[in-house]
A and B are shown apart, each in its own frame.
Chain A
Amino acid sequence: MSSQERITQAIYRAVDELNKTFPKGVHLEKSPDAPLYGQASKLESIDLVNFIMEAEEQLNDEFGTSITVTEERALSQQNSPFRTLGTFTDYVSGLLKEHGINGD
């Protein structure tokens, strides 16, 4: 499995965990276009926080890293990395690259 796939799978595992916390009927799609936080999303801010923490844990377990997603840099991006699962994946791929994990 390529690093990129491993990243995606780790993030999808975090989606599974998050979905367990939702009431019936609410559900985050495992697709790059799935809206994470913003206009089209049903997630509340606390759900986003939970998702990020879970994703960090899954990624750090997978790659043996210690990345932190919730930092100033993530929030000061021109385009929020939290718009969709796809933009989130791109952002964490960048972070992992800094830790020597090349997803390309």
Chain B
Amino acid sequence: MFVDFLQEVWRTHLDAEAVIWRGRAYPYGWLSERFDYWTQQLATEKIPHGAVVILEADFSPNAVALFLALVERACILVPLTDSVRAKRAEFISTAQGEVSIAIDENDAVTIRPLERTATHELYQHLRAEGHPGLVLFSSGSTGESKAAVHDLRPLLEKFKVRRHALRTITFLLYDHIGGVNTMLYTLSNAGCMVTLQDRSPDAVLRAVEEYRVELLPTSPTFLNLVLISEAFRRHDLGSLKTITYGTEPMPESTLKRFHGLFPEIKLLQTYGLSEVGILRSKSKTSDSLWVKVGGEGYETRVREGILQIKAQSAMLGYLNAPSSFTSDGWFNTGDAVETDGEYIRILGRKSEIINVGGEKVYPAEVENVIQELDSVAEVTVYGEKNLITGNIVCASVTPAFELDDSRRKEFVGQIKQHCRQKLQNYKVPVRIEVVRDAQHTERFKKARR
């Protein structure tokens, strides 16, 4: 009854490709049968309605069918991917998982009970309503990961409006609000999900070429990697109509360069959070960072420079943190924004602002300036405590080429020089560390400290 609307769409597209996994296409007819099979199987296995199910998987045919079968059974889903393996035990314990379902790289499924009873009041609420739930962990790129609990019934509501069927890459992960959104959007419009085993620039762009992908939802960090690796020169991106990017501020330099190379690809910023879902957004132009966010089911306002959102399908609350809602029901995003009429520009997380002697510095602004240099592959800006100015701005920079130690100082000098020309003096990094390694997480976001 929760996913009837999906099945209705599928019934008229039985031969259309639903999922492409490891070079094989699985049509909607197959997905329908598989959904029925798992619905039956969950009953046979006596998985209770309202059970908290840890679902360890990446996008695969069974991972898609099982996700929906669990929704239909009004279970509470906790998707986890390999990207969070370091925190796996902590997440399972925080989520109070009662059943474990693991899907391996060959799409084989193992179901086993866990010796635990989940009693969190948010779960009790879902069970009393008889609604399926979804638990999503925030990336925790800064601080502790928070577990947001959603009622899936209102969350599914917005997918009942039919939109374009697109061939879409499931780049964002299975345990990420963006990944869940990609899956539900695609399946509710009889589009095709092109899954990935490898999220390197070449592997992703190869899939775009091979499966004539139209939509690539991704992150600014990934687009930067595409530019650095020059993977775009090795693959035909002619089918690609739209790239959406969200999850972190986009460096203006990356956006302009990408748009310059591919003026025909529409670049759209999305704004989504584990807590409220993905808002529809409209960028002013493809090379602009100004966006209008909102859409049906969402209202936005800015209070003290911070974006607040009222959503029809916001999370119920966190499992492991106090609520972030104002007394009148607005979710405090913690994202500092600038406004220009209806448009906003995201400056960065309030918690990441570096306070230098009372002046605010947004890491993204400094990163953007450093990233303008061709000699720089990746950069992460962060604050460090300092007794004189409270904090100082520091940067970790990965050079775009091999750099021997004798030229390190010169390289650092060039970066500082460039920053001085573009930024006020307190924003210029005092300390610049040259690193060799990549600086992003497995979710393709900047690895912040």
* A47–B387 touching, CB < 8 Å: no
Contact-residue size bin, chain B (C-beta under 8 Å from the other chain): 10 to 19
* B425–A46 touching, CB < 8 Å: yes
- Kindly list the 6 A-B residue pairs having the minimum CB-CB distance in the complex, ordered from nearest: A46-B426, A70-B387, A45-B357, A45-B389, A49-B388, A53-B430
* Cβ of A35 to closest chain B Cβ, rounded Å: 16
How many angstroms from the CA of A72 to the CA of B426 in the assembled complex?
22
The interface of chain A, by Cβ under 8 A from chain B, is: 21, 44-50, 52-53, 70-72, 74-75
Chain A residues whose C-beta falls within 8 Å of the C-beta of B426 in the assembled complex: 44, 46
* B389–A46 touching, CB < 8 Å: yes
Say if the beta carbon of B13 comes within 8 Å of chain A: no
Chain B residues whose C-beta falls within 8 Å of the C-beta of A53 in the assembled complex: 430-431
Q: A49-B388, A70-B386 are in contact. List 18 more A-B contacts (CB 8 A).
A: A21-B420, A44-B425, A44-B426, A45-B357, A45-B388, A46-B357, A46-B425, A46-B426, A49-B386, A49-B392, A49-B430, A50-B430, A52-B388, A53-B430, A53-B431, A70-B388, A71-B387, A74-B387
Which one of B356, B388, B431 contacts A48 once the chains associate, using CB atoms below 8 Å?
B388
List the A residue with the shortest CB-CB distance to B431: A53
How many angstroms from the CA of A49 to the CA of B392 in the assembled complex?
8
How many angstroms from the CA of A46 to the CA of B386 in the assembled complex?
10
Take A21-B420, A21-B425, A49-B392 as given contacts and tell me if A75 and B430 are in contact as well, using a CB distance cutoff of 8 Å.
no
Chain B residues whose C-beta falls within 8 Å of the C-beta of A49 in the assembled complex: 386, 388-389, 392, 430
How many angstroms from the CA of A49 to the CA of B356 in the assembled complex?
11
Best-surrounded residue of A46, A47, A50 (most CB of chain B within 10 A): A46
* Cβ of B128 to closest chain A Cβ, rounded Å: 56
Chain B residues whose C-beta falls within 8 Å of the C-beta of A74 in the assembled complex: 387
How many angstroms from the CA of A3 to the CA of B416 in the assembled complex?
30
Chain A residues whose C-beta falls within 8 Å of the C-beta of B389 in the assembled complex: 45-46, 49
How many angstroms from the CA of A35 to the CA of B256 in the assembled complex?
45
How many angstroms from the CA of A47 to the CA of B428 in the assembled complex?
11
Q: Mark B404-436, 1 if CB is under 8 A from A, else 0.
A: 000000000000100010000110101100000
